[in-house]
Structure 1
Amino acid sequence: MPEPRFLLLSDVAAELNVSDSQVYHMVRGGELPAIKIGGRGQWRVERAKLEEYIAGKYAETAAWVRDNPLSDRETD
């Protein structure tokens, strides 16, 4: 069975191992693209957008690590 194209915020939270509230703030703050659907305006995150977000975070972290090498003090 194929994975669903759109995820609930709770599904995203489980994938990222963070709280539902953190995902909601990521969406509302524009950090993670999402859409509102239905009469009650429920949020959905497209799986492809979540994967792009994760890839971006890997790149962001790699740049940070490159720009902030460990000092001798931190390796002891």
Structure 2
Amino acid sequence: SAVLGLEIVLADGTLLDCLTSLRKDNTGVDLKQAFIGSEGILGLITRVALACPTAMSGVGLGLFSCSSFEKILSTMRLAR
């Protein structure tokens, strides 16, 4: 998962600080996944620590549009 840590405000106003930069933490129960899947029922997520991988060099991205699926297939064959 790209989520490294969370800061959550509970219903009673308590601030729960689970922010960490550790990729793996075996110190106890992983509350992150419970709060991520709770849709705000367990508490409001106020801050998130994310792992953002660096872009690989030599990788490109292109966007194009075709009027039919057949034209997409022929264009992809030409691009190879």
Q: Which has the higher contact order (CA 8 A, sep 6+)?
A: 2
Decide: shared fold, TM above 0.5: no
TM (normalized to structure 1)? 0.24
Q: Bigger radius of gyration, 1 or 2?
A: 2
Q: Which has the higher strand share?
A: 2
